[in-house]
Structure 1
Amino acid sequence: MSPQLCPAPLRPLLAGLLLLCVPAVRTGKCPQQCVCDQIQLTVACVNKNLTHVPPTVDEITVKLDLRGNDIQELPTGAFRHTPYLTHLSLQRCNIRTVKEGAFRSLGRLVFLNLAHNNIEILYQESFDGLSSLKQLMIDRNRVEEIQPGAFSQLGFLNLLSLTHNQLVYIPNMAFQGLQNIKWLRLSHNSLNYLDTEAFAGLFTLTRLSLDHNELQFFPTETMTRLPEVTRLDLSYNPMTYLGEEAVSMAKLTHLFLDHMSLQDLANTAVSKSPSLTHLDLSHNQLRVVQPFSAGSPKLARLSLGGNPIYCNCYLRPLREWAIRSKVKLMGACGGPAHFSGESLDAIHPQDLRCQSQEAMLKAEFEEAIRITPPPTEKPENKVKCPANCACEAETHHSSCENRGHTKVPRGFSAATRLLDLRGNHFHYLPANSFPGVAQVVSLHLQRCRIAEVEGGAFNGMKGLVYLYLSENDLTSLSPDAFKGLPQLTYLHLEKNRFTSFPKGAFKLLPGLLALHLENNAIAKLEPASLSGAEGLRGLYLTGNAIDHVSPRALERAGDLDTLHLGGNKLKAVPAEALSEAGNLGELRLSGNPIRWVGPNAFRPLAGTLKELYLDNMGLEKMSRDSLAGLGPGLRSLFLEGNQLEEVPDLHPLSTLEVINLADNPLLCDCPLLPLRMWIEKVNLKVRATCAHPPELKGRRVKDVHVFKACPGGESLPSSPAVAPKLSKAPKSTKPKPAHLNGPRQVKMVRTKSKPRKSPNPKPAAAKKTTERRRTA
C-alpha cells in the first residue's frame, strides 16, 4: 500500500513499522578514558591512571594499548572480554603480579609487551592460553626467578626478551616448551651460572644474547645443547681465559667476546666450531694471540681492536696465518713505539721482529708466569647419593659421568631432576633400571655402549622429558622399550647402529615431539614409519644411508614441522611422501645426490614451507616450475654448491628473506634473464656470480650488462660496474665439479673489490663465446 492510498490515521503506524525493519548501525563500546578506532579496531588508554583493565572495551578489539597506567596486578581472566586481541601493550603499568590464567582467553594474541614493570617471578601458569604468541617482551622488570614450565604453553614464540632484569642463575629446562624460538635475549642481567640443561630443548634457537652479565667462564657444556645457534653474544662478561675447545657449536657463525677481561686464549678455543666466520675479541687485554688451529677453516674476520697487541716476532705466526687463511685482522698495534697505532692487517710479517734476545726472554717470561684463574669451587651438599657419583641438593643434579659403572647405580635422591650417567659401560638396560627417580626430567646415557634396552627399562620415570641415548650400539628397539614414559618429549638416538627405522618403538610415547636419528645407517623409510608417533614435530635423519622413501612413510604425520634428510643417498625429491606432511615448515635435502628436480616437486608443501635446503647436492638442472606453489610463504632458499647454469622461476617467491646461489656455474646469457630481472625487484643480497662466458667469470649477475641485449632486457638499469679486462682464453672453460672444490662458507660480510678499468665487451661477442662453448 502506497502512502498516498493509506488513510491518514494509519500513516504513523505504518512509519513505525518501517522503522522496525531498518537494521541498526552497530556502535562499539569505548571506555570513557580511552580513544577508540572502530575501523582499525584499536583501543588506546595511555597514561590514564587506570588501576585495572577496563571491562568495557569492545569485544572485537584487536589492538589494546594500556601503557603508563597503575595496574599492579593482572587477575585471572583479566582479558576474558577481548578474545580477539592480537597486540597488547602493558609497559610502565607498575605490574607486580601476573596471576595464573591472566591471559587465558587470548588465544589469538601474537605480541605482548610487559616491559618496564615490577614483575619478580614468572610462575608456571603465568602465560597459559597464549598459544599463538610470537613475541614476548619482559625487559626492565625485576625478574629473579623463572619457575619450571613458565613458557610451556608458548609453542609458537619466536622472540623472548628478558633484558635488564635480576636473573642470577638459569635452571635446567627453564625455557621448556619454546619449540619455535629463534632469538632469546638475556642481556643486562646478573647471570653467573647456567645449568648444563638451561637451554635444553631449544632446537630452533638461532640467536642467543648473553651480553652484560657476570659469567666468568665460557659455559661449554650448556652451549653444546644449542645445535642451531649461529650468533652468540657474550660481550661484557668478566671472562679472563678461553680454554681448549671451549666453544663447541657446530653451526655458530658469529661469536662476540668483546669488552671482557680476556688475557689469554688457547689456539684450539674455537676448533670445535667449524662454521665460525666472525670472531670479535676486541677491547680485551690480549697482548699475544696464537694462530688458530685448523678446526675453524671458514674464519674470515678476527676483531682485535682495543687490545694491547704487541707487534713483534710473537705476532708474526698470527699474521702469516691470517694471510695464508685469508682472515681479515681488525685492530691496531699497541706497541712497540714504531708500530703503535699501525693496522694489524697492513704490517708485513717480515717486519715483525723482536728487538733483542733480552726482549724475547722477557716476553717468554711474561707468558710463563701468566696465571689461569682456577675454577670456582662449588660447595658440597650432603644428599643421598650412590658410591662413585656426585650429587647436589641445591640443583637436584646427580652425576656418575665417566666412572666406569657396569650397572646403573641405585640410591639416588627422589628429588633428582637431572641424572647424568654418560660414559659408563652398561651394555644393556634391564627392566626397572631406574627405581625411585620419578622426578627426573633429563636422563643422559650417551656413550654407555648400550646395545639393548629391555622392555620397561624406564618404568616409573613419569616426569622424564629428555632422554639421551646417543653414541651407543643400538641396532633395534623393542615395542616396550619406552614403556612408562608418558611425558617424554625429546628423544635422542643419533650415532647408534640402526640400519632400519625403529618403527613401532614409539607407540607408548604420546607426547613425543622431536626424534633424533642422525648419523646411523638407516637405508630406507618404509610405510607407516611414524606409527605411534603421529604428533611428532621434528624428525632428524641427517647422515644416514637413505636411498628410498616410501610414499606412505610419513602418513598421518600431519603435525610434522621439521624434516632433515640431508647427507643421505636420495636421487630424487620424495614428493609423494611429502604430500602426507601437509604442515611441513622446514625441509633439508642438502648433500643428497639429486641431479634433477622436476616440476611441482614441492607443491604438496604449498602454503606451509618456510625453509628449503637444496645445497651441495651436485644439482644440475631444475625445472622452471620446480618451485611452483611455494609462493609467498617461503622465507629461505639455499641452492649453493651445485652445478646449476640456470635457475627456476623465482618470481612467485615474493617474501624471501634469504637466498643463496653461490658456487654454481651460472651461464650469464639470455636464459638467465628472468633471474636478473627478479634480482632487480627484490630487496635482497643475492649471492649469484657468473661462471660463463669466460670473460664474465667471477662477476656478480647483478653487475653484468649482457642481459640488456636480450629480448625483454632493455628496461634493466645500466650497470655501474665495469667489465674486467679480457685476457687469453683459458684452455678449458668447463668449471671444476663441485665435489673437487672444498666446502666453502657463505660470508656474511663481503669486502668489495674494485673492478679493473677496461672497456666493456660487446654483447655480441659474449654471445659468440657462449655459442662456441655450447658446441665444443
Structure 2
Amino acid sequence: MYSQLNPHALWALLLLCSPSAHAAKCPQHCVCDQIQLTVTCINRNLTKVPPTIDEITVKLDLRGNDIQELPPGAFRHTPYLTHLSLQRCNIHHIKEGAFRSLGRLVFLNLANNNIEILYQESLDGLSSLKQLLIDRNRVEEIQPGAFSQLGFLNLLSLTHNQLVYMPNMAFQGLLNIKWLRLSHNSLNYLDIEAFAGLFTLTRLSLDHNELQFFPTETMTRLPEVTRLDLSYNPMTYLGEEMVSMAKLTHIFLDHMSLQELVSTAVSKSPSLIHLDISHNQLRVIQPFSEGTPNLARVNLAGNPIYCNCYLRPLREWTIQNKVKLMGTCAGPAHLAGENLEAVYPPELRCQSQEAMLQAEFEEATRVKPAPTEEPDSKVKCPVNCVCEAETHHSSCENRGHTKVPRGFSSNTRLLDLRGNHFHYIPSRSFPGVAQVVSLHLQRCKIVEVESGAFIGMKGLIYLYLSENDLASLSPDAFKGLPQLTYLHLEKNRFTGFPIGAFKLVPSLLALHLENNGITKLEPDTLIGAEGLRALYLTGNVIDRVSHRALDQARDLDTLHLGGNKLKEVPTEALGKTENLRDLRLSWNSIRWVGPNAFQPLGRMLKELYLDNMGLEKMSQDSLAGLGPGLRSLFLEGNQLEEVPNLHPLSSLEVINLADNPLMCDCPLLPLRLWIEKVNLKVRATCANPPELKGGKVKDVHIFRVCPGGESLLYAPTATPKPAKAPKSSKPKPMYLNGRRKMKMKKAKPKTQKGANKKLAAVKKATKRLRTA
C-alpha cells in the first residue's frame, strides 16, 4: 500500500505516525509547514522571538516585525535552524549569547535594521554559518573579534552602513571567507592590518566609499584576491606599483576622479586580465607594458581621451598585445566620438604646437564650463583644506599646516589633519566642531598635547595620534572628551606607560600603544582607565609586568603583549583580569611555561597566542584551568618536542602546532590520542626521530607500539599538498557533529524512538533545503 503513495504523502503519513507530530507547535499568526519544517511569521508586529516554535524547525522567517533587541538565548528552543531571516525587525541590540544555540545555522539575514555596533560577543555560537548579511543598518563600529567564531563563513555583506574607518584585525577568525562586501559606507582610512588573516578571500567590494588613496600596504595582506572593486571612491592619482596583488585578475577603478595613472601602477599584479578605469578624468594613457602579460581588456569609456600622437604608444601596444580597448575619443574635433579601437596609429598625429594648444584650450572650455556660484550653499572651510557638505567630511591632509586650521563647519563629523607639521596642540585647538566623531592627527610631528587641547569636542569617539613624537601626556590632555572610546597612540616615543592620563575619559574602551618604547608595566598602570576593555601593547620592549600592574583591569577582555621582552608569563598580574578573553604573548622570549600559568584566566579565556617565542618546554599542567572555555590555541613556531595535556580543552575550534620539532615517540602518545578524539584538523609534524621527519603525527605508526596506543586508527598515507595559509586548524561545522550524534542515538534503547524520528526528520529536511 505504501508503495502507491507519492513521496510527500508518505512523508506526511510518517509524521502523523510519529509521536512528535501530535505535539507539533505553531505560534499564533504564523504559518508552519511540517513537511519542509519551516515557520513564517512575516509582518506580524511581534516584539520577541515566539517561544512556541517547534523545536525541529529548520527554516525561520521573522521579517517585518518589531523585535528591537535579541536577548541571550533568543533561539534556544530551535537548535536545528539552518536558515534565519530577521530583516526589517527594528533590531538595535544583539545581546551576548543571542545566537549561541544555533550551531547548525548556515544562513543569517540581519539586513534593514538599526544595528550600530557589532560587539565581540554578538555572533557567538554561529560556528557553521556560511552567509551573513548585515546590509542597510547603522553599523559604525566593528569591535575586534566580532567575527572570531565564524570560521566557516563564505560571504559577509556590510553594505550601506556608516563605517568610516577599518581598524587592524577587524575580520580576524574568518578562515574560509570568499567574498567581503563593504560597499556604500563612508570608509576613508584602512589600517595596514585591517584585512589581516583573510587568506582565503577572493573578492573584495569597496565601491562607493571615501578612499582618497589606493591602500597599497593593506591590500598586500590579501594573497588570494582576484576581484577588487574600488569604483566611486574619490581617488585622483594612481602611482608607481600601487596595485601589488599577485592573483588579482579584475580591478574596477571606474567613476572615480583619476587625473593621472602611472604606466607602472599595476605592474606588480601579473595576473591582471581586466582593468576598468572608465568615467574618470584621464586625457592621456601610457602603455601598461611592464608586469601585466595577461592584460586583455582596458576600459577607458567616459574619459576625455585626446586622440593625438600622445595616445599612439598605447594604441600600438594594444594592437601588438591583442588587448581590447574600450572607449571613445573626446578630441580633436575630426575624431570626436570615434571608438578607440577604430582609430589606428597613423591617424594619431599632433598638430603644430600653436594649433594643438589652441585646440586643447577650445576643448577645455567646451567640456568644463565655469561652475555656477552658489554662495548660500557653500560649506565653511579653512584655506588649503577640502570640505564636503554631503558627507560632513573635512580634510587638510598633507597640506603643510603648522597650526591647527580653524573655521570648519559645525556639522563636520570627520576631521582629517594627517601629515601636517603642528608639533604642539595648544589648549582649545578645536572650537566650534562639537559634532566631530573621528579626528585624525597621524604623522603631524606632535611632541606635546597641552591641557584641554580638545575641549569642546563632546562627540569625539575616535582619536588618532599615531606616528607622532609624543613621549608623555599631561593628566588633562584629554579633558572635555566624555565620549572618547578609541584612542590610538601607536608609533610614538613613549618609554613609560602614560599613567593617569586617562582619568578624564570615562568611556575609553580601546587603547592602542603598539610600537613604542615602553619598558615595563608598573603598579596601578591603568588607574583612571577602569572601564578599559582592550589594551594593545604589541611591539614595545616590556620586560617586566608588576603583580599589581593590572589591578584596575576588571573589565579588560583583550590584552596584546606580543613582540616584547618578557621572559615569563605574568601570571600574578593576569590574575586581576577576571574577564580576559584574548591574550597574546607571541614573539616574546619565553622559553618555559610552568604549571598553572593561566589558571587565573580559566573561566573566561577564549583565545591564547603563544606562538613564535622559542618556547622549549611546557609543563604538562601549564594549561590547567582553561578547560572547555578555550576556543583557539596558537603554539606554532616554537621549539617544543612535547606538548602539555590538551585533553581538558574540549571546546577548541582552532589549534596550531606547526613548525615545532616534535619528538614522535611514546611521550607524545597523549597528543596522538587527543588528535584521535577531537573533531579538528591538527597541524602537527614529526621532526624526530630522523626516519619519521616530516610525517604527520596522526599518520605515523610509531604510537601503535606504545602502551595504550594499540587501538589507534591511521589515515592512509597520501602525497602531501602545499599548505595554504592560515596554518591554523579549521573546525568542522557543527551540523556535521549533529549528524554524528544522530547516528550514535540509533543504537540506544527503544525508549528513544521518538527522539530518533525527530532527529531523522531534521536531517532529511536540512538536506532538502541545501539541495533546493
| Counterpart selection for 1:559 from 533, 555, 560 | 555
Which residue identity does 2:710 align to in structure 1? Answer: E
| Counterpart selection for 1:676 from 672, 677, 686 | 672
Q: How far did residue 674 of structure 1 move?
A: 1.3
Q: How far did residue 177 of structure 1 move?
A: 6.7
Say if 2:217 is the partner of 1:248: yes
| Counterpart selection for 1:392 from 381, 388, 400 | 388
Q: How far did residue 226 of structure 1 move?
A: 2.7
| Counterpart selection for 1:197 from 147, 164, 172 | 164
Moved more, 542-551 or 153-162: 153-162
Name the TM-score, length of structure 1 as normaliser: 0.65
What is aligned with 1:71? 43
What is aligned with 2:4? none
What is aligned with 2:198? 230
What is aligned with 2:755? none
What is aligned with 2:570? 574
User: Contact (CA 8 Å) 1:175, 1:202: kept in 2 or not?
Assistant: no
| Counterpart selection for 2:27 from 27, 38, 45 | 45
Say if 2:622 is the partner of 1:626: yes
1:528-547 matched pairs, under 5 angstroms: 528-547=524-543
Say if 2:157 is the partner of 1:157: no
Say if 2:193 is the partner of 1:257: no
Q: How far did residue 722 of structure 1 move?
A: 9.0
Which residue identity does 1:197 align to in structure 2? Answer: V
User: Contact (CA 8 Å) 1:470, 1:496: kept in 2 or not?
Assistant: yes
Deviations 1:331-367 (A, max 9, x none): x999xxxxxxxxxxxxxxxxxxxxxxxx997765667
Which residue identity does 1:486 align to in structure 2? Answer: P
Give the Cα separation in 2 of the matches to 1:576 and 1:471. 33
User: Contact (CA 8 Å) 2:163, 2:186: kept in 1 or not?
Assistant: no
Distance 1:429 1:186, change over 3 A: farther
Say if 2:446 is the partner of 1:454: no
Deviations 1:481-520 (A, max 9, x none): 1111111111000000000000100111111111000000
Q: How far did residue 720 of structure 1 move?
A: 3.2
Give unmatched runs, 5+ long, in structure 2.
1-18, 232-237, 254-262, 276-287, 297-314, 331-367, 731-772
Give the Cα separation in 1 of the matches to 2:204 and 2:634. 34
Which residue identity does 1:226 align to in structure 2? Answer: A
Describe the SS at the equivalent of 1:702.
coil
| Counterpart selection for 1:506 from 497, 502, 507 | 502
User: Contact (CA 8 Å) 2:272, 2:292: kept in 1 or not?
Assistant: no
Q: How far did residue 155 of structure 1 move?
A: 5.8
What is aligned with 1:133? 98
What is aligned with 2:406? 410
Describe the SS at the equivalent of 1:637.
strand
User: Contact (CA 8 Å) 2:533, 2:556: kept in 1 or not?
Assistant: yes
1:679-758 matched pairs, under 5 angstroms: 679-717=675-713, 720-721=716-717, 746-747=726-727
| Counterpart selection for 2:587 from 584, 591, 607 | 591
What is aligned with 2:11? none
Distance 1:527 1:280, change over 3 A: same
What is aligned with 1:22? none
What is aligned with 1:6? none
User: Contact (CA 8 Å) 2:543, 2:566: kept in 1 or not?
Assistant: yes
Give unmatched runs, 5+ long, in structure 1.
1-36, 51-64, 297-301, 308-313, 320-331, 335-358, 725-743, 751-776
Q: How far did residue 151 of structure 1 move?
A: 2.7
User: Contact (CA 8 Å) 1:228, 1:251: kept in 2 or not?
Assistant: no
Give the Cα separation in 2 of the matches to 1:175 and 1:85. 35
What is aligned with 2:140? 174
Identity, % of aligned positions: 50
Give the Cα separation in 1 of the matches to 2:252 and 2:94. 45
Distance 1:281 1:478, change over 3 A: same
Distance 1:68 1:219, change over 3 A: same
1:457-468 matched pairs, under 5 angstroms: 457-468=453-464
What is aligned with 2:660? 664
What is aligned with 1:653? 649
Q: How far did residue 69 of structure 1 move?
A: 3.1
User: Contact (CA 8 Å) 1:213, 1:237: kept in 2 or not?
Assistant: yes
User: Contact (CA 8 Å) 1:646, 1:667: kept in 2 or not?
Assistant: yes
Give the Cα separation in 1 of the matches to 2:95 and 2:411. 30
Deviations 1:524-581 (A, max 9, x none): 0000100011111111000000000000001121111111000000000000011011
Distance 1:318 1:477, change over 3 A: same
Give the Cα separation in 2 of the matches to 1:139 and 1:580. 37
Describe the SS at the equivalent of 1:467.
strand
Q: How far did residue 712 of structure 1 move?
A: 2.1
User: Contact (CA 8 Å) 2:655, 2:729: kept in 1 or not?
Assistant: no
User: Contact (CA 8 Å) 2:615, 2:639: kept in 1 or not?
Assistant: yes
Give the Cα separation in 2 of the matches to 1:713 and 1:550. 45
Moved more, 498-507 or 152-161: 152-161
What is aligned with 1:615? 611
Give the Cα separation in 1 of the matches to 2:506 and 2:329. 48
Give the Cα separation in 2 of the matches to 1:529 and 1:235. 43
What is the root-mean-square deviation in Å for CA atoms of aligned residues?
5.3
Give the Cα separation in 1 of the matches to 2:72 and 2:123. 16
Which residue identity does 2:467 align to in structure 1? Answer: E
User: Contact (CA 8 Å) 1:166, 1:189: kept in 2 or not?
Assistant: yes
Give the Cα separation in 2 of the matches to 1:177 and 1:634. 20
Moved more, 684-693 or 506-515: 684-693
1:333-344 matched pairs, under 5 angstroms: none
Give the Cα separation in 2 of the matches to 1:396 and 1:571. 49
Which residue identity does 2:605 align to in structure 1? Answer: L
User: Contact (CA 8 Å) 2:177, 2:200: kept in 1 or not?
Assistant: yes
Q: How far did residue 480 of structure 1 move?
A: 0.5
Moved more, 703-712 or 400-409: 703-712
Q: State the aligned residue count.
A: 600
Distance 1:543 1:445, change over 3 A: same
Which residue identity does 2:573 align to in structure 1? Answer: A
User: Contact (CA 8 Å) 1:489, 1:512: kept in 2 or not?
Assistant: yes
Describe the SS at the equivalent of 1:248.
helix
User: Contact (CA 8 Å) 1:194, 1:219: kept in 2 or not?
Assistant: no
Q: How far did residue 698 of structure 1 move?
A: 1.2
Describe the SS at the equivalent of 2:189.
helix
Say if 2:435 is the partner of 1:420: no
Q: How far did residue 235 of structure 1 move?
A: 3.4
Describe the SS at the equivalent of 2:668.
helix
User: Contact (CA 8 Å) 2:599, 2:625: kept in 1 or not?
Assistant: yes
Give the Cα separation in 1 of the matches to 2:510 and 2:56. 30
User: Contact (CA 8 Å) 2:25, 2:54: kept in 1 or not?
Assistant: no
User: Contact (CA 8 Å) 1:151, 1:178: kept in 2 or not?
Assistant: no
Distance 1:539 1:181, change over 3 A: same
Give the Cα separation in 2 of the matches to 1:270 and 1:365. 21
User: Contact (CA 8 Å) 1:230, 1:251: kept in 2 or not?
Assistant: no
Distance 1:182 1:151, change over 3 A: farther
